[in-house]
Amino acid sequence: MGAVHGVYLKYVGLSAVSFAGYHFVIGSFGPLEPLPLASSFSDGVRILATSSSSSDDASSLSSSSLLPLARAATAAMLSYSTFLNGTIAVLFQLRRGMSLIGKDTKKGTIPLWSYVLLFPFHGPTYAYTYLHTKMGKMRPPSAAPSSDESHRKKNDDEHEQQKVPVPVASQVQPGWWVGGCYSHEIQLPMQQPWAGIVDLTVEFPEKCRANTLNYLCLPTWDGVPCSPEQLEEAAVFCMEARKDWIRWWKQNYSRGGNDNAVDLADSQKQSMQQQQTEQLIPHILIHCAHGRGRSTTVMCAAMVKMGLFSHWEEALEQGIRPSRPVCKLNAKMRKNLEEWQRKYVDHVSVGVGVDSETKRKKGD
């Protein structure tokens, strides 16, 4: 199943499988005898009471008495999984309830109680994301699809057998990274920190939190885009994070960055300093779980806000997908980007144009 389209169906499936497993365990179908849940509970209480009072009496109970208790416990767990994952699937569709997981938006951490109480959600989510990350394939970046349909199909045919592993994160433009929850594996040049990280996951803790100057968490369900207001917040955050990094660089690197090269010729010093400067640029990481949908949506807005592209579709097709072909947007993501573009880019541009024209006329 894709990481963008119909993601909520993962949890619908988990709920359905748990429901089927529940009925199998209690004997509604299959080879097992129907399980009388009330008697199983009383058997369990009797076993515990007997084992604490008399070991001889406990040994008289057949081992078969434990089986109904184990089945009842398994049935209870599957019943809970059915309810929890079904509820989360509904919340996906409603785009509500992100706070249910309990993620700390300042620290990027998920509390222990969440893992304990919501284990039917966390367990499959971690397993699916790990396998999807480690086994995911994509066309080589140079084979990114073009806008021409015939050329796109030709690329698909030619490179179908040349797919490469999907990187945990991709630098789609110099200093701009789109990635998933394993982006902490990326090492920046000269071990510099990230200028800023935009974390869009509700289901994973932030592992790069200690290695970034600025952190913004906008937790959203997988496949659910940020609102236009959140897109604007993230885009502005990225601009400010880059400015903050420049101030940090000046304080830590611009003063005597090559003092240890006093014996070198001036030309060599200049060359080393230029090389260091080229390596040390502000790096922004925008990541979700897989680095395909949520992160791509925010990256489109951020690059338009920075003036790298004039429209989000241009940012997607020319600025992101050539370096990370797996990036794609669902209908909701495109709708929110279109609304963001109209509200925060086109409308502002029109306003600036009107103001300029008014000032010119007054000057005349």
Classify 60 as helix, strand or coil.
Answer: helix
Q: Report the pLDDT value the prediction gives residue 106, as an integer from 0 to 100.
A: 96
The distance from CA 129 to its chain's CA centroid, rounded to whole angstroms, is 10
Q: How far is CA 155 from CA 66, 80, 93, 151, 352, in A?
A: 60, 46, 34, 6, 42
Q: Report the pLDDT value the prediction gives residue 141, as an integer from 0 to 100.
A: 87
Classify 177 as helix, strand or coil.
Answer: strand
Q: Report the pLDDT value the prediction gives residue 291, as an integer from 0 to 100.
A: 96
The distance from CA 256 to its chain's CA centroid, rounded to whole angstroms, is 39
Q: Answer yes or no: are the C-beta atoms of 182 and 223 closer than 8 Å.
A: no
Q: Report the pLDDT value the prediction gives residue 119, as an integer from 0 to 100.
A: 96
Classify 182 as helix, strand or coil.
Answer: coil
Residues linked to residue 171 through DSSP beta bridges, in sequence order = 177
Q: State the sign of the Cα–Cα–Cα–Cα dihedral 216, 218, 221, 222.
A: negative
Q: Report the pLDDT value the prediction gives residue 271, as an integer from 0 to 100.
A: 53
Classify 30 as helix, strand or coil.
Answer: coil
The distance from CA 168 to its chain's CA centroid, rounded to whole angstroms, is 11
pLDDT, block means (10 residues), the chain with 364 residues: 64 94 90 70 49 50 70 93 95 91 96 97 95 90 54 54 90 97 92 95 95 96 94 98 93 56 48 58 96 97 97 97 95 96 85 48 51
Q: How far is CA 319 from CA 30, 141, 342, 362, in A?
A: 54, 12, 20, 40
Q: 86-118 burial string, b = 16+ CB within 10 Å, else e?
A: bebbebbeeeeebebbebebeebebeeebeeeb
As a whole number of angstroms, the distance between CA 143 and CA 122 comes to: 35
Q: Report the pLDDT value the prediction gives residue 144, as an integer from 0 to 100.
A: 46
Q: Which residues contact 14 (CB under 8 A, 6 or more apart)?
A: 81, 85, 120, 124
Which pTM was predicted? Answer: 0.80
